[in-house]
Amino acid sequence: MKKLSYLLILSGLVSVSAIAADSPHSITGNLYLVSDYQFRGVSQTDEDPAIQGGFDYAHASGFYLGTWASNVEFGAANSEWDVYGGYAGSVGDIGYNVGLLQYLYPDYSDADTTEVYAGITYKQFGLKASYTISDDYFDIGNGDGTVYWDATANFELPAGFTLGLHYGFTAGSGSQVDYSDWKIGVTKEVGGFNLGLAYVDTDENSFGKFGDERVILSIGKSF
């Protein structure tokens, strides 16, 4: 699989990176297999599995750059490549993050989308807004100005489990509809791998089966 080859190359680049412990630079990577790639509550892979991964560079000053990729199945697209960068910091228990994210679909450029985002966290709670600045919103015309609100909360459970809660709301612009999505999931590290089980759903019927409720399994590793 072409996309798998790309991801393995990326993971290799990360693993061989030699950075001194006292360096202001850091590089991390991740590689995951999921039973379905859902984005904002909607399946991007026709409810089929996906292999995903990427790497991130961060500087001690707070600036960061990253890239991430996955296989997809919609329109003429069979791959997604994201590139992003921004600045993150914290003041006490309050964290903040601002940046720019470019979604690229090499086989289906009509779906290319650009967003700016800003987020804030307080302990285990988070709120983030992503604002579309490109003309289209994932191949939906007149999507400029669409805003996605993302609220999250994470709680430590006994036996090393973590409970993750998510509620999202798409405030559509132009041809994009307004709808909500939500996710309830648990994760646990086992033998150095991150295992996950999540329930996702939306309140929008126009997506057909792609926006219906489903359970998603995931396994992956960060390094």
Query: Which pLDDT value is given to residue 69?
Result: 98
C-alpha dihedral, 188 to 80 to 102 to 27, nearest 10°: 50
pTM over 0.85: yes
Question: Domains of the chain (ranges plus CATH)?
Answer: 2-222 (2.40.160.40)
Query: Which pLDDT value is given to residue 11?
Result: 45
Q: Which alpha helices (DSSP H) does 1-117 contain, by range?
A: 2-15
Query: Which pLDDT value is given to residue 177?
Result: 86
Query: Which pLDDT value is given to residue 43?
Result: 97
Q: Which alpha helices (DSSP H) does 2-160 contain, by range?
A: 2-15
How big is the CA angle at 54 (ends 194 and 25), to the nearest 5 degrees?
100
Q: Is the pLDDT of residue 2 over 90?
A: no
Distance CA 85, CA 45 (A): 26
Distance CA 189, CA 49 (A): 21
pLDDT in tens, 78-91: 999 999 999 999 99
